[in-house]
Amino acid sequence: MKIKIGYLGPDPVTFGYLAAKKFFNGIEDAEFISYHSHSEIISAVGKMEVDYGVVAIENVIDGIIAETVQCTEDEAGRRGLYICGEVAVPIELYCLRKADDLTPPKKILTHDSVTRQCRKFISKLQNEGAMLEITNSTAEAAQKAGQNSEIAVIASEEAAKKYGLRKVVPESVADIANNKTRFWVLSKSYAKRTGKDKTCFLVNLEQTQSGALWKTIGFFAKRNINLLIIYSNPIPGKHWEYTFLIELVGHIDDNNMEEAWEELRNSGLITGRPHFLGSYPDTTSGI
């Protein structure tokens, strides 16, 4: 029986596909299934249409991918899923067009996160009259550019080869060199303890309590658990209220992590139901 893996498509030229192939390298019975958005991938994992889903969570330029956090929180509460792995891939972004037309493009298409990774170059094209249009993926943008010479896209070199596009400039158009994106691997269960792990929680804090966030972090700090990320994600329909994504060093089965989590749950600082999002091997720290 094949292992089904969801990735952001439409074709196997996206960075999501490269991340999926890297993580599941060597598994011969893997079947890679494309989806149009991260929300569709996450939903597919929750509904068990696929065994795993690979979704972008953090870029070194753009930061945390808000869509992924929101959709993961929604699906974890609805049907249940966990982070079971992570993988990082280098991101080389090129401006691509179909024709050798030297006139400025009328449109520039790319994924939303890429617009913030390539602000300077996109701003230059906009100043030349190009209209920016957001697509579900860089591959979708490249697919459209392959059919219209007036469109420029920012996408991968693999997309250029797939859709017969050329590089407008030879070098990457990202704002900084050494661009990378980290991906979560989602499934219906979290990973076993390895001794070099990360753990994620989602919590809503009681805003009427002074120092709630400081106290929350303190439960982990006093047990020498290192905080890697704390990210505030707006709660839909509630003004100025947030869900906090917390990523820490360690595994939920570590004694100190379990103690900190239990103390937090019983502290009165959390409103609603806290979510343990998963523990998984740390493969990206320091790269």
Same domain, 86 and 101: no
The pLDDT score that the predictor gives to residue 101 is 65
Same domain, 183 and 69: yes
Q: Is residue 174 part of a domain?
A: no
The pLDDT score that the predictor gives to residue 239 is 83
Residue matched to tokens 């439960």: 219
Q: Is residue 287 part of a domain?
A: no
Q: Is residue 173 part of a domain?
A: no
Q: Is residue 150 part of a domain?
A: yes
The pLDDT score that the predictor gives to residue 106 is 92
Is-cis flag, bond preceding 170, omega within 30? no
Same domain, 108 and 80: no
The last residue of one of the domains, among 134, 154, 187, is 187
Q: Which residues of the chain are under the pLDDT cut of 70?
A: 101
- Alpha-carbon distance of 42 to 65, in angstroms, equals 14
Same domain, 49 and 120: no
The pLDDT score that the predictor gives to residue 143 is 94
Same domain, 137 and 252: no
Is 0.75 surpassed by the pTM of this model? Answer: yes
Same domain, 26 and 153: no
Same domain, 49 and 183: yes
Same domain, 78 and 120: no
Domain hosting 40: range is 3-90+179-187
Query: What CATH number does the domain containing 38 carry?
Result: 3.40.190.10
Q: Which residues pair with 180 in a beta bridge?
A: 90
Other beta carbons less than 10 A from residue 21's beta carbon: 18
For residue 7, give every residue at least 6 positions away whose Cβ sits within 8 Å of its Cβ, in sequence order, or none.
14, 16, 17, 19, 20, 32, 33, 34, 35, 41, 53, 54
Q: For residue 2, with 0-12 CB atoms within 10 Å meaning exposed, 13-18 middle and 19 or more buried, which class applies?
A: exposed
**Contact between residue 25 and residue 57 where contact means Cβ atoms under 8 Å apart:** no
The pLDDT score that the predictor gives to residue 242 is 85
Q: Is residue 286 part of a domain?
A: no
